[in-house]
Amino acid sequence: MLNLVGMGLRGTLSLTLQEDEVLRKSDKIYFEAYTSIAPENTIKELEARYSKSVRSLDRSDVENPLEIIKESLRGIVSLIVVGDPLTATTHNQLRFEAEESGVVVKCYENASILTAAFGYTGLFTYRMSPPVSLPFPNEKFFPRSVYDKIAKNIENRRHSLILLDLSPGKGMKVSEAVKYLLEMEKNFGSGFLTEDKELIAISDLGHQDEKIARGTFRDMVSYEGGKINCLILPETPTEDEVRFMSRFCRKITLVQ
């Protein structure tokens, strides 16, 4: 059996009672460590709680899951994922391959940044767009598709959730994302993203030092955020959304 266990956004404190029971009964526990950044000492806390070794898995381990599948055919294996295990294609691909191999797979959902981000800011979730991922660009890779998706959301008056890329152990800074988006506007743009356009930066949501900041692109050029960040570009917010954002999002301005 293979259990896909969502750890939510608050580290081990977010594990549900049912998940706790499942993990105690597991023969092996793995922790997926590349689609998000977990709070420090997460693996040590898990090992102390369940009196078992917890192995950290990287991208290649999950995308080439032969070992996980073999172990799941012999015993009870649990893979812990930060957030919700069913929001990333990677985990559904693992689920698919395991079931194709005859493994019984059970999923335990939990809180995800995809819904929590909007709720925390006060924006209405029914106005959210499909999320947009902003990768680290380079000289040979500067994807226009990111800008085109955001532009379409703006035209449709939908709020854009932008997930910032992760490299091993490091998340893209808010200031880096702002720079990349303004450069995309310069290279591909139609005037949608300007220095006066408002955005919300959400950093380390669910962690002790979480931050939700609101300002213009100009205000955010030197704002780093936290270890793991995402952005929301509100588009034509309603009167209630404006009122909620004013209360729930800390307003920042550029320090001259």
Give backbone dihedrals phi and psi of 180, rounded to 5 degrees, phi first. -65, -40
pLDDT of 69-128, one tens digit each? 999 999 999 999 999 998 888 899 999 999 999 999 999 999 999 889 989 999 999 999
Same domain, 69 and 192: no
pLDDT of 147-187, one tens digit each? 999 999 999 999 999 999 988 767 899 999 999 999 999 98
Q: Give me the residues paired with residue 105 across strands.
A: 2
How many domains does the chain fold into?
A: 2
Q: At what angle do helices 42-50 and 17-24 cross, to 10 degrees?
A: 70
Same domain, 117 and 225: yes
Same domain, 154 and 200: yes
pTM (predicted TM-score): 0.88
Residue 16 structural domain: 2-108
Same domain, 162 and 149: yes
Left, alpha or beta for 225 (phi > 0: left; psi -120 to 50: alpha)? Answer: left
| Distance from C-alpha of 59 to C-alpha of 23, rounded to nearest angstrom | 22
